Amino acid sequence: MIKYILGIDGGGTKTEAVILDIEGKVAGTGTAGGSNTNFISRREAAEAFKQAISGAFEAASVTAKDIGCAGCTFWTVANEVFDELRIPVQPKSFSEHAVAFERAGIEELRGIAIIAGTGSSCGGFSDGGQRFTVGGWGPLLGDEGSAYDIGLRGIKRALWSAEGRLPDTLLVDAVRSYFGIEHAKGAIGKLCDTKINQSLVAGFAMEVSKAAGMGDEAAIQIIEEAGEMLGEMAAFVARQIFTENDGFPVVLAGGVFNMGRLVLDPIRAVILPQFPKAKALIAKMKPGEAVARLAYKKCFGG
């Protein structure tokens, strides 16, 4: 008999595990650092999964043997960890775009999902079940409009301003404070390592958002341009599977959308002239909970 359902979602910055009871109520949650194997080793990702799952077990006062159904993103990592923790089920795998629809409370897998957290991607699902995705190429080759993109552009803008190439901006002081350095150029020593510290750069996006809230023109421009890029990505996907007369949801999932109208208005400005019946919806449910609820539906045929 199924007692508890486990869902675990891994991202570039955070990993979240959520346990539901048989009635679908959240019994416990655990979190850890990032677990995206595009940017960290399989071992590091597995450790993040184990930490998040163990935290959820403790919060819910359950053990591995109590789990009767489970779901995940990053299936290969989850499957390995489940074996190690002796969780007696195999996790069901879900795409981040399907998870986004669940987070927005949309039952039918039809429409567009824009993911903009540490990284970015966009996926679309047509009436006939056709799936079309773009993005997700990582910080070197893509991630347009993501927190990483916003953070990196904010840091660059601060450096150019500090050396006099561009007008002054609040981002210069933000860089000094964020990295704990005396001069903006000191950011080089914090960032130039053997590998990209994706989370560190993405974290600066919050500083860009704060500066924008204080009216800083450079920060405002960076966020608005991020919104335009996300809108263009979504419009491209929509053109592959919908017509201009179709109505469909555009699910917005990820921390970037917490920046509000500065990022949301440009997205709508790109999409709505091409697809007037499209409707943007913010995904509010936590991703780990959404994965658990998708697994719950699989187990109980919902």
For the chain, state the CA radius of gyration: 20
Count of all residues that appear for the chain in the document: 302
Which CATH superfamily includes the segment(s) 4-97+287-300? ATPase, nucleotide binding domain (3.30.420.40)
Residue 267: how many other CB atoms lie within 10 Å = 26
Residue 175: how many other CB atoms lie within 10 Å = 27
Question: Do 4-97+287-300 and 108-284 share a fold?
Answer: yes
Q: Would you say 253 and 100 are in contact if contact means Cβ atoms under 8 Å apart? A: yes
The β-bridge relationship of strands 279-282 and 249-253 is parallel
Ramachandran bin of 37, using left for φ above 0, alpha for ψ from -120 to 50, beta for the remaining angles: alpha
Determine the 3-state secondary structure of 11 from DSSP: coil
Structure tokens at 204: 């600066």
Mean pLDDT of 267-295: 96
pLDDT per residue as tens digits for the range 22-48: 998 999 999 999 887 777 788 888 999
Report pTM. 0.91
Residue 111: how many other CB atoms lie within 10 Å = 26
CATH number 3.30.420.40 is the correct assignment for the domain at 108-284: yes
Q: How far is CA 72 from CA 10, 129, 240, 289, in A?
A: 8, 21, 28, 10
- Which amino acid is it at 197? N
Mean pLDDT of 190-203: 80
Mean pLDDT of 81-86: 90
**Residue 194, pLDDT above cutoff 70:** no
Shortest CA distance to 204 belongs to which of 136, 141, 156? Answer: 156
Q: Where do the domains of the chain lie?
A: 4-97+287-300, 108-284
Report the distance separating Cα 224 and Cα 55, nearest Å: 37
Q: How far is CA 268 from CA 118, 120, 144, 264, 271, in A?
A: 21, 17, 17, 6, 5
pLDDT per residue as tens digits for the range 211-245: 999 999 999 999 999 999 999 999 999 999 999 99
Look at 129 and 200; give whichever has higher pLDDT.
200
Mean pLDDT of the chain: 92
Q: Please list the residues that pair with 10 across neighbouring strands.
A: 15
Q: Please list the residues that pair with 251 across neighbouring strands.
A: 113, 281
Residues 6+ apart with CB under 8 A from 126: 110, 132, 241, 242
